[in-house]
Structure 1
């Protein structure tokens, strides 16, 4: 059953934080209950649901007028803030109900023309439905129990059995003006209802207070759940190590290969493999359920209308996987060719690659251009397998028709939710950084994240990794590992595959400078220096190369080499010797991996505040030379300190240099003795 999370004390805190304006206080509580809805996956998933409140605010002339604050495009309810509920003057919206027809374009323009603030995001495509209902608070959700009910063949009959006349029943109509009028007509026919069931779509509830409307959302959903015998919450998000996941990089590469429209695009994967996913895949009616469509039309833009289904036999090798992906793409093109001629205006084929997959023995995989998009697809896929299974067993899972699904998938107002524009250069790239929590590693992580990469940080300090992720955000992962330990590289690769489905770039950065004359170092200490500064680089590079080769789409290996490999420093032989070997390793791998499209490059940096070069060490060295710390750190031809972010920029430059391999980029401010040529 779905828990009611409303807390009166917290609601008062939200109101108090909004200041003295009563309207702002009420909007703040609207934000609070919107978040309660958005944070419960059994009430709301990506791609659907909205909330509103009707308030009174002064216009430019000081006259009090009614305003509808409704969810704006681009905002998610789980994290929404007050600006995500833009205000629209209510009277003009109500007047629109007099119209016989209203195009989507005119509706959007009309709503925007009545915004209180012209810089606000577009109001929801269901703004008019919120406006036409008279209640102060209106909530619209895609709760799991209601999605099951809404897609049953006898949904209206069962709704009457559960609720009697307490819910109005609205036939399926694509969201927009026509749905708003139809829903308002259903309400007007029985103003005593306290909610609406939108067949093959979702659920509306309303009330005079934020709590009342939210309470109805929860209680209505629980009444349906009780009728269907649903217990517990929908399992969402479980991802655990398992056998056989090495097939994911191969699948990832095949999808990119088949998706010829964007031949450089690698999908990011989000795996869900809890027990419920395997139970679902064991059903005998999987193939039939896969072709039915999604539980709500809003899901289709993130998941496409059907999953890629891979049985164990399909996972035998790259050729069998490719055949299934090509088959999916062919079926998608055929679907487009069937429906596009009947569209009101010309449509352009979207990329025919799958957006989620059901993989026997592996689990459910969401796919997207980045981790956020992949997670949204995976969340919806997990909700959908429960809706399909329970619905089919309760009488049948029958969502909207193919035509309705096409109309929604290719609806410009839905496509707008995905955003447009040129993707960042590293979108779709999984980047692993060893020593990722250190100064250079974290600076490099920030530089790649800023350009769209999804990161796997490797470091032996779990606490430092947590702090690094706090700075980078939720769409990246960390793996605590001593990179010199046996099997460390493979465990790190497995972590990348588990998190994102594969790997595109590894930045072998971790290292430390051990000082001391070679005559004073015993073999054990010297070997230890090689373990970190050479063998770890070699192990991570070769393990990464195997993953990248399995994908078959090329990739990159970048080494942090250090000027010591070229210009040895006194008493730094235990550091410079393995670094020199690492530079040779880079050149050797350049020769061996070029045929697989894997570029191998390195950065030579000098005198960076990291590792051995601590603030205390810098102070000591500067004092010994009788110079200031700034002068010591700027001891190069440019006379300026080289910082960690400059090294990060060097790695980014190499990663973007598509025709460069076997190159060492110097980032040292100018050091003639360390020049390579």
Structure 2
């Protein structure tokens, strides 16, 4: 583990914070917290915590002792001073004399003693930091330390490695009891550099920020060196299909099977999830192992992970190319067993609780697929990525643990206590999700104009949005560069989306361009070019979307931008209007042929929208031809209002949220009777 401390950087941090009125102690605390948080082998996604004991002025003008400790919701890798809220230290120390303290009371006391009531909740391990006497304290979930202690004889291994440099703390659930235990061990071993929390992580202490940080690096390095001496061969391979199915083929099947239908029924109301795929040599060795049913089903490498990954991952059957029906059938049965086992796990321990818990859904948050890799699963792409990252860390820790001996984490009852922690249960009644949360929406031509407005509108409604366009260099978020007139590129784009997010739910087929010319004079090449983009591209996009939607079995929504030209052609616009009219009927054919699949198909008929289709130059030409000002031309409708790209975007969103509407055309033009449809 590399020591990244720099005297120059530390001085720069002190100077930068001083300009904001922040003292040296807190400045250095931010500096070394970031050093630790930037190393994924120490900290991931909000894990770990740090603190410093210092002095600050309260509202009365008195200088008092405070504990600045990492706050909930802050990530150590990017933390700022507000992420280390100051808590009055004396009241925290007084709690040491209590024999018991509930988590809820602990949180209340900590919040009651914040210097600033607007601060985030102090870490659940705040009392642990408060009860130890050291000025600077660091806590991480080091991979190496976990691999060393996640063993049947982990205590003996750690004691042999660290001797008098670090004291051992038996596993205790985070909270008041752990704080008391660490204080007891610390008092009995006042000269140690750190505490090894068996099957949990490591704390290091020091009188300076540098001392605590360097001790963390040194003690973790010792564990890494010990693991490096272990050369036992691990994960002998299982017999797997010679040609596994692709990620893009199996992800929609998994996503469909893992979705939870709402009580009201119907595929459109299904509770869906978002995926994040990971693979690589270490992951493949892990998922392809003959004993995966043993080492993958022990539990999380550190208790904190259970909140994000549940108690166990799901091991899917090995998928074989060309035999997806068999994979789907076997996976369905395996998921049903997983759910039954989860219900039994909940029942085993819920009855032992003083206050009954609310059972969480029985859907795995990590899926291991032999021959393919692993998926993180979450309510959002961010949640899925976190689950995948934690799963990847789990693979690394278990691999090191198995080289050294046999992986063994905390017992199942302790895993349950973490997964069903009262503080986490309290969050279940939080804010409602946005209407299109957990939906994956694809917008073609989404880099500008109507497409960009539509992508933004769907994101605002909670959807995970993917933009497809020829040039996506200016797009923020996930985007795929693709020429929608190239069928091979379109297929590859949808495969990439399925492999990235697990599938597709909503597709806005928007890409288009306006060709002009008198129909009796226009060259065939011009007309064919327009049909390629304004008709065949829509067919290619819709066909690939349906391929994935049917594999998921969750229904879905196709939305087409058809324009008023489809029903109210303008002079010299035949090359544009003809393929648009064909696309209008294409939409209706999809509604007719795939309604039984739960797939809705609708269109938006827009007119006079200042966008990439109706450019400023075209507006000027048309308004001049009609003897109108540009404002009169753009507002030349029954309502006398200019229609914007955002108006069209909102229409697409409305159709996506209409579960019982299909085969419809909605007009967005301010009123044009000639183009009006039912």
Q: TM-score range by the shorter chain?
A: over 0.9
| TM-score, normalised with respect to structure 2 | 0.93
Distance (whole Å) between structure 1 residues aligned to residue 329 and residue 261 of structure 2: 12
Q: Alignment partner of 2:520: what SS?
A: helix
Change (3 A) 1:493 1:190: same
2:507 maps to which residue? 506
Q: Alignment partner of 1:345: what SS?
A: coil
Distance (whole Å) between structure 1 residues aligned to residue 228 and residue 478 of structure 2: 37
Change (3 A) 1:67 1:622: farther
The correspondence of residues 112-511 of structure 1 with structure 2, limited to 5 A, is 112-229=111-228, 243-257=246-260, 264-312=270-318, 316-415=326-425, 420-463=430-473, 467-469=474-476, 476-511=477-512
Unaligned residue ranges in structure 1 (runs of 5+):
232-240, 470-475
Distance (whole Å) between structure 1 residues aligned to residue 14 and residue 264 of structure 2: 50
1:106 maps to which residue? 105
Change (3 A) 1:230 1:461: farther
1:521 maps to which residue? 522
Q: Alignment partner of 1:174: what SS?
A: coil
Q: Alignment partner of 1:521: what SS?
A: coil
1:604, 1:667 within 8 Å by CA — same for their partners in 2?
yes
Q: Alignment partner of 1:535: what SS?
A: helix
Consecutive aligned runs of 4 or more in structure 1 exceeding 6 Å deviation = 258-263
Residue 27 of structure 1, CA deviation: 2.6
Residue 631 of structure 1, CA deviation: 2.9
Q: Alignment partner of 2:659: what SS?
A: coil
1:647 maps to which residue? 648
Distance (whole Å) between structure 1 residues aligned to residue 429 and residue 84 of structure 2: 19
Residue 535 (str. 1) matches residue 536 (str. 2): yes
2:378, 2:387 within 8 Å by CA — same for their partners in 1?
yes
Residue 142 of structure 1, CA deviation: 0.7
Distance (whole Å) between structure 1 residues aligned to residue 113 and residue 507 of structure 2: 51
Distance (whole Å) between structure 1 residues aligned to residue 287 and residue 30 of structure 2: 38
2:275, 2:501 within 8 Å by CA — same for their partners in 1?
yes
Change (3 A) 1:418 1:371: farther
Farther-moved stretch of structure 1 (245-254 vs 206-215)? 206-215
Residue 313 of structure 1, CA deviation: 6.0
1:472 maps to which residue? none
| TM-score, normalised with respect to structure 1 | 0.93
Q: Alignment partner of 2:487: what SS?
A: coil
The correspondence of residues 41-56 of structure 1 with structure 2, limited to 5 A, is 41-46=40-45, 48-56=47-55
Farther-moved stretch of structure 1 (51-60 vs 348-357)? 51-60
The correspondence of residues 594-605 of structure 1 with structure 2, limited to 5 A, is 594-605=595-606
Write out per-residue CA displacement over residues 640-665 of structure 1, whole angstroms, 9 at most, x where no aligned residue: 22111111111111111111111111
Change (3 A) 1:545 1:199: same
Residue 623 of structure 1, CA deviation: 4.9
Q: Alignment partner of 1:45: what SS?
A: coil
Residue 212 of structure 1, CA deviation: 2.9
Unaligned residue ranges in structure 2 (runs of 5+):
231-243
Q: Alignment partner of 1:197: what SS?
A: strand
Distance (whole Å) between structure 2 residues aligned to residue 405 and residue 450 of structure 1: 36
Distance (whole Å) between structure 2 residues aligned to residue 504 and residue 596 of structure 1: 13
2:436, 2:458 within 8 Å by CA — same for their partners in 1?
yes
Distance (whole Å) between structure 1 residues aligned to residue 600 and residue 349 of structure 2: 43
Residue 22 of structure 1, CA deviation: 5.8
Residue 219 of structure 1, CA deviation: 2.4
Write out per-residue CA displacement over residues 359-403 of structure 1, whole angstroms, 9 at most, x where no aligned residue: 011101110111011111111111111211221221211111110
1:259, 1:351 within 8 Å by CA — same for their partners in 2?
no
Farther-moved stretch of structure 1 (290-299 vs 19-28)? 19-28
Farther-moved stretch of structure 1 (491-500 vs 203-212)? 203-212
Farther-moved stretch of structure 1 (115-124 vs 553-562)? 115-124
2:303, 2:418 within 8 Å by CA — same for their partners in 1?
yes
2:319, 2:371 within 8 Å by CA — same for their partners in 1?
no
Distance (whole Å) between structure 2 residues aligned to residue 10 and residue 669 of structure 1: 60
Q: CA RMSD in A?
A: 2.2
1:47, 1:302 within 8 Å by CA — same for their partners in 2?
no
Distance (whole Å) between structure 2 residues aligned to residue 633 and residue 15 of structure 1: 57
